[in-house]
Every structure is written in structure tokens, then in C-alpha cells.
Chains A and B, each alone.
Chain A
Amino acid sequence: GAVVSQHPSRVICKSGTSVKIECRSLDFQATTMFWYRQFPKQSLMLMATSNEGSKATYEQGVEKDKFLINHASLTLSTLTVTSAHPEDSSFYICSAPRSSYEQYFGPGTRLTVT
């Protein structure tokens, strides 16, 4: 069964609003989680590393004020897309490592901004 969940699986929002996506590790604790974005027919691009108890680490070119990350507990990280615009429409995927060699991916959240 799934060991990392994401909610919601799909969301449609209006331009200018904010959307929160949750990523949960279901049967293990994750001090670190990762957020990826995937545009249609493209690969996964790492956006940021979510760190429990400290600030997230953003990849170059990713706006930290637009993509707010909060690692609220050892099993939950949230990504908030603030003031969303149509160009933010994408597939957002989180992952959580359970060990050095095991990393589990969530099923993804499809965001559509109208």
C-alpha cells in the first residue's frame, strides 16, 4: 500500500488564490521531504527540500515567497502555492526518504489554475 499520501489529488482554483497541498508519510517519520513539479510530458524538477523544524531549502529559480513550505511534524509537509496563476498549473509530487536507499513518492496533485 501507499506509504506517502498527498491531498488533494486534484484541485482547480482561480487565479490569485492560494492552494495548500499536503504530503504525509503514513507509517514512518520523515525529517526531510522533497517537493517536485512536473509539467506535461516533462520530467520532475526538484523545487525544494522540506526540513522538519527548520526552513525549507529551495532550488535555484524557485520563489520561496510563492511556494511556501511548512514541515509541521515528522509526518507532514505542506506546500502552499500563493497567488496562483495559470502558469503554476502543474503536477506537484512529494517524496519522503525512509532510509538511505528507500524513498517513497506520493501519488501527486494536479493543480489547475483558471
Chain B
Amino acid sequence: SQQGEEDPQALSIQEGENATMNCSYKTSINNLQWYRQNSGRGLVHLILIRSNEREKHSGRLRVTLDTSKKSSSLLITASRAADTASYFCATKIIQGAQKLVFGQGTRLTINP
């Protein structure tokens, strides 16, 4: 079953703009991860944020985590056409061993 929801489901912006995607989840988590998937391809791990962290940066990526609201956001700054992909959050729940449960995903389109 899906852990939560992401919004927006689809986002289209101009190259150079910032893109923000949100993820909500339902149960207590150990960590939350963001992945990118190009059409028909495998997953690329972007960033992991632990439940005791509130914000994390990696290059043009900024992830926040609010465990009280059970939500996370992914910000991509200065977007590029190559950022066009689907983005998924995935949570590792505390009592779920190592399995990850994925959100619905956001389809991001960067227009040149």
C-alpha cells in the first residue's frame, strides 16, 4: 500500500526557476528518501533525511522534513531541462525492516 501522497502530481516550470515538491506520509518513519526516475528507467537516489533531521542540502537540492506534520519537501533550485523526470519520496517505516514505501510521485517538466 502507498504510504502517502505527493503534490503536485504534475509540475511544469521554465528552466531556471525553482521547483518544489511535497510529500506527506502516514506512519512514523526512520528516514525519508527522495528518488528521481526518468521515463521508463530505474530509480536514482537523490537524498536521504533522517527522522531527527529537519533540513538537508545536496548541490541544488534542498530537502526539509517536518515529522510533526508528517511531511517533507524537495526543492530543486535553478532547474535545468535535464531535471525533467518523475520524483518520488519513499519512507522507511520504523517497524518495516528495510522496506521502502513510495509516494505517488510528481512528474516534473522543465521547459527550455
Interface residues of A, Cβ cutoff 8 Å to B: 32, 34, 36, 41-46, 49, 59-60, 91, 93, 95, 97, 100-101, 103-108, 110
Neighbour of B41 across the interface among A34, A44, A107, CB < 8 A: A107
Name the residue on B nearest A31 (C-beta): B98
Name the residue on B nearest A105 (C-beta): B43
Asked if A107 contacts B98 (CB within 8 A), the reply is no
Asked if B41 contacts A46 (CB within 8 A), the reply is no
Asked if B43 contacts A93 (CB within 8 A), the reply is yes
Interface residues on B, range: 20 to 34
- Which label, helix, strand, loop or mixed, suits the secondary structure of the A interface? strand
Asked if A43 contacts B88 (CB within 8 A), the reply is yes
For B30-51 the 0/1 string (1 means CB < 8 A from A) is 0101010000111101001000
Among B41, B45, B99, B101, the one with the most A-chain Cβ atoms within 10 Å of its Cβ is B99
